[in-house]
Amino acid sequence: MAQSVEVSPELLMLDGWVEAWGNYCEMRQSKARGSWAMPKQVQAMLTKLLKSLKAGFDPVAALQASFASSYQGVFPEKHPHRQAHKSSQSGSSVLPLRGGQRAAGIDEGQATAAIRKALRLGGIKKTIATYPEGQRAPLRAAFTSLGSWSTVRQIKSTELPFRARTFRDAYNRHTAGATA
């Protein structure tokens, strides 16, 4: 008799979640000597993935990597440009940049992470407050380009790539104007 477990809406709204989770579960089931999918195991895995999402990691990428390598476990990516970093001085989140370098602009992945963070935290002001002072003005400009909070919180996962490009362009225009 199959029992069900509850999947967090935060995980379900991620692009590619359903396919990545399905592939991972199918791979685990094919490798299992018995039944790996006991409800407590599955719930523990989902809790771990939700915690990794809240820490700034991409659980979909972690599932895809585990599936591709036939890993039984799921591990967060180790690439600095794909995860939210903590500033060593202030303890606040810093927009991640390629190669650990600080730069004036951000890429689309970083823009997507900032928007997702706002959706997780439940507000633009809360999100901006987690970043260092030097990044707050461009973040305000970027979020303003998306509209009000009521507009931002209604962004669907299918719209996220387009909205992330708009956000990235506004952020980069603001930082280019500040350094010019």
Rg (CA), the chain: 18
> pLDDT tens digit string along 117-170?
888 888 888 888 888 877 888 888 888 888 888 888 888 877 888 888 888 888
Quick one: pLDDT at residue 51?
Answer: 85
Tell me the pLDDT band of 173, cut-offs 50, 70 and 90: confident
Quick one: pLDDT at residue 34?
Answer: 61
Quick one: pLDDT at residue 6?
Answer: 81
pLDDT at residue 14 is higher than 70: yes
**Distance from chain centroid for Cα 82:** 8
Give the count of alpha carbons within 13 A of 158, CB side only: 0
Tell me the pLDDT band of 71, cut-offs 50, 70 and 90: confident
β-bridge pairing 93-94 and 85-86 = antiparallel
Report, as an integer, the average pLDDT of 42-63.
84
CA pair distance 172, 174, nearest whole angstrom: 5
> pLDDT tens digit string along 26-51?
888 887 666 666 778 888 888 888 88
> pLDDT tens digit string along 83-127?
343 333 333 344 444 344 344 578 777 888 888 888 888 888 888
CA pair distance 51, 101, nearest whole angstrom: 26
pLDDT at residue 80 is higher than 50: no
Helix (H) or strand (E) holding 93: strand 93-94
Q: Where are the domains of the chain?
A: 9-69, 102-179
**Which tokens is 51 given?**
């915690």
